[in-house]
Structure 1
Amino acid sequence: MSIVPGDLLLSIAAHLDNRADVFSFSLTSSRFFTTISSVLYRQVTLYSAAQCSTTLKMLRYRPEIARHVRELIIKPGYLSKPDNRFFDSEVASAAVRDVATAKVLDALVKFTWDFDDLPFYDDMWFALRVCCGQLRYIGTSMGTRVPTLRSHLFDFVDLQGFSLYLKRSFFESHLDIFSDDEQPISRRFWNMLMDKCPNLQELVIDGVSPFPVDARTLSAARWPNLRRLVLGDIAVDWLPGAALTAPEAKSPFIEFLEAHGPTLQSLGLSRSNVSHTRLATMSPDAVKLRSFTGTLEQLHSIPHMHKYLECVAFREPLRTREVTALAVAGLLQKLTSLTKLRISFMLHSMYDSGNLLRSLVASCPKLIHLELACGHKPSFQLEQFAKTIRGFSKLRVLHLTIIKYPGDENISRGASLIAMTNPRIQDFSLAFLPPAYPFGFPFPLITFLPLQFRSRESGSFTLTCDRHGLPQSLRAFERRRLLWPFGWDNRIGRGGTSMT
C-alpha cells in the first residue's frame, strides 16, 4: 500500500460517501492520513463547546493539519442544554481566538459562527481578521446582544461574502437597528459592507419573524460583483410619498436588483422583502437568475426569468386549499431549465397528494434533485410513491418528508421500495413527521386517553448498483427522535448496509 500514488488516494477519498468513511480510510496508515488530511479537514464543523476546545487545540499543535482547513463552522450550542449556552459561547469563542492567534489557519477562507447570540469574546473577530490572511467570508448570528460600537466585527475589509442570521430574540427587541442612520451601530454596519467591501459577491441577511426588520439602507448599496443575495424577513422595499399610488413606479429595491442584474445569479426573497406586484415592474432581461427562492406569487411575477432558472425553492408551504396541483404544475412547466426543486405542501386532505405528485412528474422532466415535504395530513403510500417517481427519469437525489400513511411501511422497508423501484437514484433521505395531536394536547394529560408520545423518524440512504445498473447494496443511517413532554429529548440512531 505504500506505493499507491497520492493523487489516487485523494481520488478515492473524494468518492467516499461521508466523512466517517474518509476518516476510517485515513487511519489505514500514517502516510494515508497525511495525504488525505486535505480532504478530511477541508471543512470542519464543530457542534459543541467541548468539540471546539478539543479540536481547535489539536489544530494549534498540528499545523500540518490546520493548514488544510478552508472552512470553519462553529455551532457551540447544537448539542448543549439552554442553561449552558453562556458558558458554551465563552469556551468556543476563546478556542477560536486561540487557534487564530497561533497563525496556523493559513488557508482559512470562510468562517461561520452559528449560535443563539454573538460570541462571548468579541476579540475573536480581531484574531481572525489579523491572523487569517486568506479569510474572505464571514458569517455570524445575532440575538439579544448586539455588537458594541467598538466591535471588531465591523473592522473587516474587502470581504467577498457576509452572512448575518437573526435569531428570534433579535426580532423581539432590535427591529430598527439597521434602518436608523442616526444609530452609530447602523452606520458602522453599512459602512463596512458598502464602503469597505466593494468586491462583495455574497450577502445573506436571514431570519424568520412576523415582524420584519427594517433594512431599507440596503437598496442604496452597489456591489459590481454581487452574485448571491438572500434576504429573510427583512423590509427593504419602499416608495416615497406619492409614488406609492403609481402602479408602475419602481421602488429603490427594484432599482437595486436591476443594477446588479449583470452579475446576480442567485436570489432568495421572503414575503416581507418585496410584493409580487412590485417585482413585476422589473425590466425584462435586466436580471437573469439561475437560482430563485421565494413565494409562488413572486415566482409567477417574473416570467421573463423562467427560462433561465435551474434551481427553485419555495420559502413557504403551499396550501392545497388555496392553490391547486394544476396551478403549481402549470407554473413549473414554464421553467424549462429546472433541475433542482425544493417544495412543500400543507395538505387539506389525505386525497390531495395523488394528483399532486403526478403533476410534478409531468411538469419537471429534467429534475435531478428533488426536496419534497407534505405536512398536516398523511400523503403518499410509499409503494405507490416509489412507482410514480419513476417518471423522473433523470432524478439522482431525493429528500422526502411526510406524515406516515396509516398502515404504511416503516423507514427501512420504505427505503428498500424506493431503491428497488428507482435504482438510478444515488442518494436519498426519508423522514416521517409526527401527526398532529387530537384535541390539541401536546402529550397525554389524562392517562386513560389512548395517546402515545410522538416521534420523528428519519433515514439517510446511499444506493450502489452493479455494472448492469441493478441495485446491489443500500447503505443506511436511521434516526428516531422521541418528542417527550417538558422539552425532554431522546435520540436513537443506527446504521448499516443491506444487500438487495
Structure 2
Amino acid sequence: MHQNEQTRDSITKSTRRRSLKTLFQLPLSSRSPDFISASTAEAVGSIPADIVREIVDLLTPADVLNMSLTSKHLRSMLLPALYDTVILKSSRTCKITLSMLAQQRHLCGLIRKLAVRPNYYLSWPRPDEPLDERWVVDMIKEIADGLTSMHTFDWDGLELPKDCLWDSLRLRCPQLKSVFSNVGHWALNPNSSLFKFRGLTSFSLIIRHGLGGSELFPVPEDLPPQFWDMLVNHCPDLQELAICSFSSSSRVFDFERIAEGHWPRLHTLTLGSFGYQSDFSLGPHSLINENALSKFLETHRELKYIRFLWNFKRWMSPDEIPMPIAPTALPALDTFIGVYQQLAELPHPEKVETLDLTCEPIYETRLDAVCPLLSKLTALTSLDIWTHVFDPHRDHTPFFTAILAACPNLTDFHFMCTTSFTVKPLKQLLAQLYRLPSLKRFSLTKGHKYLDESMLSTAMRILKHTPALRQVNIRWAREQCPNHLKQEGSYDVVLGRDARPESVAVVERGIPLVGRPFCRRFKVGIGFGKYNEPEERREGKGKRTSWVGGASFGVGFKAKSFGENRTVDSADGPPAVEATAFDAISSADSIPGSPDTSASSGSSWSSALSSGTL
C-alpha cells in the first residue's frame, strides 16, 4: 500500500525492503566516502575530522542539517553530505530550491542525485499547489552545466517534460547514468530525446498514479522502436529497469519486447501491469503463455530484486500462474514483490529475505496454498501481506496463526486489512505475535470507521502487548479520502541510558473529521500515561513548519530517526541550507516511518496506499 531507506543510486537492498523504494524513491541517506574533502578535513574543536565523518555516516539528512547549523566550519564540511541527494517533493520546494541553485551555482556540483516533483500528484494530506512545469524545465536547463557530479535524475511531474530537457541533461551532465521518468496522459513522442541516451545503468519509465479510468481491459500501448533500440542495443551494462503502470485502468504499456534484452549485470527489475485480458487469459500473452518471461529470468542470473505488478480488477487471480523456471535460475534473488502463484515457481525460495504480497488480498480459502509457500522461505525477515477479514465478530485466530507460524523469523511485518479491523480481531492478531520472537517493526494498515479508537491508543495497545518492538506504524485506509488514506502515524520506542524503553516518539498526520489537515509530533511516556504537549503544524496556507524530523523517501514502512525539534528558516543559515531544509531533507511533506514507493499494483486501494506518496 501507500510504500522506507531505498534508490536510484544502484537501488541496492536496504534495511527493510528495496522498493525501487528502490526504483520509485531516492534513498534516504547514501553517503559517499569522500563527503568530507581533504581541504576541510581538520579537527572540529577537539573532535578529529575522521570521527565527524563516522558520525555523519550514521545520521539522517535532517540530523545532518541540524549539525551543519552549529558552525560555519561544520557547514562547510557537511555541504557535500547535505546536497548529495536533493529531492524536491512539491511545487513550492521546486521554486525555492531551483531558484537558489541558479544563484549559487557552486552548490550544483555537489548534487549527485536530483529528483523533482512539481505538481506532486501524490501529495497528502493537502494537494500540491500548481506550478508551470515548463518553468521547472527551464530552470534545470539553466543549471545543467553545473551538475557535473549528477549521476541520477528523476522526473516526477504530471507529464513528460519538454524534450529539450533530455537533450540538455544528456549533453551537459557527463556523469548521468540513471534516468527515471513518469508519463501522464500525453502520448509518447517516438523521436523523443529521452530515447537517445547511451550507456545507462538504470532506467525507469512508469505511468503515474492518478490517471483515473475505468477500463477493465485497456489496450496495451506499443513503446516506440527507439525506446527498445536504446535499451537493447545501447545500454549493455543496464543494472536496473522499470517499465510499469500505476494507472492500469487508464493506460498500460506493451512490454513484451523485454524478452529481447540481455543485460548480464541486471539486478533490479520491475514490470507491469500483468493481469486478465479480454478473453480472461493472462497477459502479456507471450511473456506468460509462451514462457518468454521464464526464459528471460533464466538468462539474468544477477537479479536480486523482482517486482511484478498485477491487477486483476474486480476478479480474483487464478489458482495457478505458469512460470516454469530452471532450478539453477535466479541464484541471487532475495526480494520478490508479486503474487503467491509466481512465488511457488521460484527455484531458490530459501534465499528470499523480503516478500510483498499486496497485489491482491489473501483470503482464508487460500491459506492452504499460501502458508506452505511461506514456510519454504526460511530466510524471510520482512513480509507485507494484504488480507480481508469480513466478519470482525468471528474468531480469526486460526487465520492469523497459520500465517505467522509459517514465517517465524520476521523482523518486519506489515499487516494490511482494508476491511474493518476492530479491536477484537486486533487482539487476536496480537495474541499470536509471540510466534515472531525477532520482530522489531510492526505496521498495521486497516479500514477505518469513525468509532475506531485513536491511532495512538492502537499503537500503545500494540507496544504494551509486544514490548520488544522498536517501531509501530498505523495507517487508516478509507476509500473516499485522497489516496485512500485517512490518517497515519509512526511510533518509535526511545531507549533510556540503561537501554530500556523510556518513551515513544510520535509523529501523526492526516485528515480530521472537521478542520484542516494536521501534522503533529510529541512524546508519550512508556507507562502509557501522561504525555508531552503535542507540537502541531496545520497544513494551512502561510503556516510555518514547526519541526524537522527524518525524511521519508521510500515505499514501505521504515524506521527513521527522530530529528531535533527546530524551526528552519533563512535566519538559521544561508539560502542553501534553507532550501535543503524545506524538502531535500525536510519532514514538512513527510514523517518518519512513512511508506514509500513501493507501490503495489493490485486494486486502486493497494496501488495508492503502497505507492510511497508520503
TM-score higher than 0.5: yes
Alignment equivalent of 2:493, drawn from 447, 450, 463: 463
Structure 1 counterpart of 2:255? 215
Q: In 1, distance between residues paired with 2:252 and 2:355? A: 23
Provide the rounded CA distance (Å) in 1 between the counterparts of 2:48 and 2:148. Answer: 26
Q: 406, 414, 421: which one pairs with 1:371? A: 414
CA contact (8 A) 1:45 1:72 kept: yes
Residue 263 (structure 1) aligned with residue 305 (structure 2):
no
Equivalent residue for 2:170? 129
Distance change >3 Å, CA 69–CA 393, structure 1 → 2: farther
Which residue number corresponds to residue 339 of structure 2? 295
* Alpha-carbon spacing, 1:157–1:462, altered in 2? closer, same or farther (3 Å): same
- The DSSP-based 3-state class of the residue aligned with 1:283 is coil
Q: 2:507 aligns with which of 463, 477, 485?
A: 477
Deviations 1:129-186 (A, max 9, x none): 222222111110112223434422111111111111113649889945426xxxxxx1
Residues 338-347 or 143-152, more deviating: 143-152
Question: Which deviates further from its counterpart, 76-85 or 365-374?
Answer: 76-85
| Superposition map of 1:381-420 within 5 A | 381=424, 385-386=429-430, 388-403=432-447, 409-420=453-464
Contact kept in structure 2, 1:463 and 1:471, CA below 8 Å: yes
SS where residue 473 of structure 2 aligns? strand
Look up the match of 2:266. Answer: 226
Within 2, Cα distance between the matches of 1:405 and 1:225?
Answer: 48
Report what 2:350 is aligned to.
307
Please, what is the CA RMSD of the aligned residues?
3.4
Q: Measure how far apart 1:385 and its partner are.
A: 4.7
What secondary structure is seen at the aligned counterpart in 1 of 2:132? helix
Partner of 1:12: 55
Q: Distance in 1 between matches of 2:519 and 2:488?
A: 9
Quickly say closer, same or farther: Cα 1:387–1:42, change in 2 above 3 A. Answer: farther
Structure 1 residues 267-276 or 315-324, which shifts more?
267-276
Give the Å deviation of 1:405. 7.8
- Within-5 A mapping of 1:284-363: 284-288=327-331, 289-302=333-346, 304-320=347-363, 322-324=365-367, 326-350=368-392, 351=394, 353-363=396-406
Q: Find the counterpart in structure 1 of residue 560 from structure 2.
A: none
Q: Which moved more, 1:30-39 or 1:72-81?
A: 72-81
Greater relative CO (CA pairs within 8 A, separation 6+)? 2
Q: Which runs of 5+ in 1 are unaligned?
A: 180-185, 245-249, 437-441, 444-453
Task: Go from structure 1 to structure 2 and tell me whether the alpha carbon gap of 1:39 and 1:483 turns closer, same or farther (over 3 Å shift).
Answer: farther
Q: CA 1:229 to 1:456, structure 2 compared with 1: closer, same or farther past 3 Å?
A: same
Go from structure 1 to structure 2 and tell me whether the alpha carbon gap of 1:430 and 1:251 turns closer, same or farther (over 3 Å shift).
same
Q: Aligned partners of 1:338 and 1:7: how far apart in 2?
A: 36
Distance apart, 1:8 and its partner CA? 2.9
C-alpha displacement of 1:352: 6.4
C-alpha change, 1:275 and 1:45, in structure 2 (3 Å) is farther
Moved more, 57-66 or 136-145: 57-66
> 2: CA distance between counterparts of 1:301 and 1:405?
39
Query: Does the CA contact (< 8 Å) of 2:155 and 2:182 recur in 1?
Result: yes
- The gaps in structure 2 that reach 5 residues or longer are 1-43, 276-282, 527-614
| Cα shift at 1:89 | 1.6
Q: Matched residues in 2 for 1:390 and 1:402: separation?
A: 21
Match of 1:55, as an amino acid?
T
SS class of match (2:95): helix
Letter in 2 for 1:418: I
Give how far 1:386 is off: 4.7
For 2:199 and 2:319, locate their aligned partners in 1 and report how far apart those are by CA, in whole Å: 34
Describe the SS at the equivalent of 2:110: coil
Contact 1:49 1:88 in 2 (8 A): no
The answer to which of 361-370 and 412-421 deviates more is 412-421
Q: Give the letter aligned to residue 253 of structure 1.
A: L
Q: Where do 1:106-121 residues align within 5 Å?
A: 106-119=148-161, 121=162
**Aligned residue identity for 2:472:** F
Structure 1 residues 223-269: Cα deviation after superposition (integer angstroms, max 9, x where no partner)? 111111111215874349xx97xxxxx53222212111x21221111
Of the candidates 136, 142, 150, which is equivalent to residue 98 of structure 1?
142
Residue in structure 2 matched with residue 238 of structure 1 by the alignment: 285
Aligned to 1:38: 80
User: Amino acid of the residue matched to residue 58 of structure 2?
Assistant: H
> Which amino acid is 2:225 matched to?
R
1:282 aligns with 2:329: no
Partner residue of 2:194?
Answer: 153
Q: Does 1:196 align with 2:225?
A: no
How many aligned residue pairs are there? 459
Q: Is the 8 A contact 2:108 2:143 kept in 1?
A: no
Question: Do the aligned residues in 2 keep the contact of 1:415 with 1:461 (CA within 8 Å)?
Answer: yes
Aligned partners of 2:423 and 2:397: how far apart in 1? 7
The residue that corresponds to 2:531 in the other structure is none
What is residue 450 of structure 1 aligned with on the other side? none
Is 2:63 the counterpart of 1:21? yes
Q: Closer, same or farther in 2 for the Cα pair 1:321/1:307, shift >3 Å?
A: closer
Q: Aligned partner of 1:266: which letter?
A: Y
